[in-house]
């Protein structure tokens, strides 16, 4: 909920505005027919896309697969996904009070829903150096 304070003469007017985000989330696993599910999420200024996805898991559907470890420290690099066609870290992508399309990375093997195989490049180098 956002609060708008307006001053009209000597009268202070508080308006409570319930803003929402309409998340269109691509879901499914390898071999499934992938589908979009839509969820309305309460909007709070300053929230991230990851905050909204965590809200969906907590309040609507705990089976939604997402991956993250640090929430908003930009340290784990595990929350990478596509938001409105752009590759982002979900914990850094700002939530906006409109429709937002959330998809898994298209160039990585899909695990389920928004989770893809994203091994850090130094781990990939370690694995390939042992071959
Ligand atoms: S959750 Fe760790 S970088 Fe986004």
If we measure between CA atoms, which residue out of 57, 45, 50 comes closest to residue 80?
50
In this structure, of 9-13, 51-55, 77-81, 87-91, the range with the lowest mean pLDDT score is 9-13
Asked if residue 105 belongs to a domain, the reply is yes
Q: Is 93 in the pocket of ligand 1 (CB under 6 A)?
A: no
Q: Which band of pLDDT confidence, cut at 50, 70 and 90, is reported for residue 131?
A: very low
Asked if the structure places residue 64 within a domain, the reply is yes
Establish if 49 belongs to a structural domain.
yes
Residues 44-73: tens digit of each pLDDT = 999 999 999 999 999 999 999 999 999 877
Residue 114 falls within a domain, yes or no? yes
**Domain count within the chain:** 1
- Its pTM stands at 0.81
Note whether 101 and 51 are within 8 A (CB): no
* Domain annotation covers residue 70: yes
- Phi, psi of 31, deg, nearest 5: 95, -20
CA 9 to ligand 1 center in whole angstroms: 46
2 found inside a domain: no
Q: What is the pLDDT of residues 9-35, one digit of tens each?
A: 666 666 667 899 999 999 999 999 999
Q: Ligand 1 atom 3: the closest Cα is on which residue?
A: 74
In a domain, 127, yes or no: no
Mutate to test the pocket of ligand 1, among 49, 73, 94, 115 (most ligand atoms within 8 A of CB): 73
Expressed as residue numbers, the domain containing 84 is 19-120
Q: Give a yes or no: residue 34 inside a domain.
A: yes
More confident position, 102 or 6: 102
Residue owning tokens 């850090």 = 120
CATH number of the domain that residue 47 is part of: 3.10.20.30
Q: Is residue 110 classed as helix, strand or coil in its secondary structure? A: strand
What is the layout of strands, in order, in the sheet containing 35-42?
35-42, 20-27, 99-103, 80-83, 86-89
Q: How far does residue 50's CA lie from ligand 1's centre (Å)? A: 9
> Which atom of ligand 1 is least distant from the CA of 68?
1
List 38's β-bridge partners, or say none.
24
Residue 2, ligand 1, Cβ within 6 A: no
């Amino acid at each position: 909920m956002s609060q708008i304070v307006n001053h009209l003469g000597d009268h202070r007017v508080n308006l409570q505005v319930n803003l929402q985000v309409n998340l269109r989330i691509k879901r499914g696993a390898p071999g499934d027919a992938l589908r979009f599910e839509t969820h309305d999420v309460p909007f709070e200024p300053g929230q991230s896309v990851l905050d909204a996805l965590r809200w969906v898991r907590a309040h609507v559907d705990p089976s939604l697969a997402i991956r993250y470890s640090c929430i908003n420290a930009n340290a784990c690099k595990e929350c990478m996904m596509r938001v409105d066609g752009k590759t982002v870290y979900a914990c850094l992508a700002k939530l906006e009070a409109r429709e937002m399309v959330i998809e898994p990375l298209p160039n990585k093997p899909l695990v389920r829903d928004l989770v893809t195989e994203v091994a850090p490049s130094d781990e990939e180098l370690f694995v390939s150096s042992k071959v």
